[in-house]
Amino acid sequence: MKPHITIVIKPTLFCNIDCKHCYHTPEERVKGEIPLEKVEKLIRMASEEYQTAWFIWHGGEPLTLPMSFYKEVIGYEEKYFGKDSMRYGNTINTNGTLLNKRLMAYCREKKINVGVSYEGPCNGILRAEDVEKTLNTLSAKDNKYSVGATISKDSASRQREIYQYFRDRGISVSLSPVIGAGCGKPYVPDTEEFVRGSIEAYDEWFNDNTARVPLMPFYQYIQNYLGEPVPSDCAHTSCLTKWICMYPDGSLYPCAKACPKSFCMGNIDDIGSIAEAFQTEGFANILVGSIARRDKCASCEIFRFCNGGCSVDACYENGLENNGGASCEAYKAIFAHVSQSIQRILDEKPDLDGYNPFVKEAVINKLINPKTVSQ
Amino acid sequence: MRVRPALLLNNGNFYAKTSANADKVNLMSYDAESIAKLTAMYESQSPNAFIAFSMEGLPQDNDHAERFDKGADEEHSELSGCDYPCCTDRGFCTTWKGHLCVIGTVVVLCACCCYATDGFFGNWPFWPF
């Protein structure tokens, strides 16, 4: 059995709101739900081939499907992986507009993480709907959730403000730039401005000894630098073969982002195992280009941390087998800043009480755990 | 030593893709052995990323009270006012029995209070006890 796979399932591409930056085009975002048999087959195959699996319910807006759908699929997970077996977990990524208390209660009962797309003070730039009330309820009900804030060209310089907004509410937030696919092209932030804004937000978080929440992806960058990369940082942990995505029609892709059709790994109906999907021409296509790009990256001093970055991002920047695109440049600049700040702590060993608890814990773990001392 | 995939794969079409032609890539087919070699090559480029790959972020057990309405399945456009199964989204009782229970409870409580305070401290002169 292989150790772990992350499975993104898009039960529908339909969405009840029209975010301006969506990487699915309006023509793609039509009604149509994934048949339960396809989901059951994928869950069964995952349980047979992998020790653990993490399911991410994505879309479209996954909560346009009724709660009965999720009861069914969680039932399949319990059936094939074993109830309370700790071999599987779930995250629902939603725009938050259709979250209600019953669903929140169900997520608590089944230990489902909720990821809400929301930009706080910059809401309105990419989407009109405000879900602050929903977040308040999630917090009040002790649901496990975090917020994903998408950074556009109009909010690139306001990342610190976004972080402060969520920090004050005790909500974990992740800052991700718009990718130039689908409808997103006009909203992609300027790289320099994005880097500047990210570093401002990072510094604010880094020096805040009262911070109660991690700030993503910077906390992941710190863990990566300290020798403990986390799989959820998919762009920088060699994601191919570890992630798979299923669309409503059952077609399979190596990634949930806007994969070109040339990367399609067939249909769930036509394969007998997940391993078969990773032996298709579509998967070979993304492998060949990714290998070529990573070959060029090999001499870069941070390659061991970025592992060549995101193949789909590269695809929409300079081409799959070319590095040096916006995501590459941004990661280099931000990671350099993050790693310098951590290395300074490791070298100078200052009083860690001045730093935020997440940095403190990560550094202490690094100092006391010989396994991770490799710098 | 890394081998360029174009050299490894005689039957693989090494291509240059740009954002303009991301969906229009002309590719030849690969056999299973070639893909296995490609996968091995990909993994060899970043061996550390394939050594220890453990599941992270498993939900922790919690002991907060769960109030899950197992019968609820309808969609809602707004947050419901209450998530107990005996309540409607607007906070009213779902059945007439529920209404009777609430009214009965209020009457009994009022009677008890009236008894304990001797007619609400004399404000209700009709209190017989």
**Tell me, what's the pLDDT at B89?**
60
Which residues on chain B are in Cβ contact (under 8 Å) with A98? 75-77
ipTM: 0.88
> For residue range A52-87, what is the model confidence (pLDDT) as tens digits?
999 999 989 999 998 889 999 999 999 999 988 889
List strand residue ranges (DSSP E) for chain A, in order: 2-9, 50-57, 88-94, 112-117, 145-151, 173-177, 215-216, 243-246, 252-253
Please, which residues have CB within 8 angstroms of residue A200's CB and are 6 or more apart in sequence?
A: A159, A160
Q: Choose the closest CB to B2 out of A105, A295, A318.
A: A295
Per-window interface: A 114-173 vs B, CB < 8 A: 133-134, 137, 142, 144
Chain A residue with minimum CA distance to B14:
A288
Predicted local confidence at residue B84, as pLDDT: 62
- In chain A, what residues touch B84 (CB-CB under 8 Å)? none
Q: Note the pLDDT tens digit of each residue in A241-291.
A: 999 999 999 999 999 998 999 999 999 999 999 999 999 999 999 999 999
Q: Give the global pTM.
A: 0.79
Number of domains in chain A: 1
CATH number of the domain that residue A297 is part of: 3.20.20.70
In this predicted structure, the answer to whether residue B77 has a pLDDT above a threshold of 70 is no
Query: In terms of residue numbers, what domain contains A359?
Result: 1-375
Top-ranked range on mean pLDDT: pick from A124-138, B39-53, B73-87: A124-138
What count of other Cβ atoms lies within 10 Å of the Cβ of residue A346? Answer: 14
CA angle A188, A194, A198 (to 5 degrees): 135
CA of B93 vs chain A CAs: smallest distance (Å): 16
- The pLDDT assigned to A11 comes to 96
Is B43:A326 a contact under the CB 8 Å cutoff? no
Return the residue matching tokens 């929140």.
Answer: A104
Q: Which residues of A touch B74 (CB under 8 A)?
A: 66
Interface test with B, best of A6, A28, A101 (most B CBs within 10 A): A101
CA B122 to CA A5: how far, in whole Å? 73
Q: C-alpha angle A185/A31/A38, rounded to 5°?
A: 105
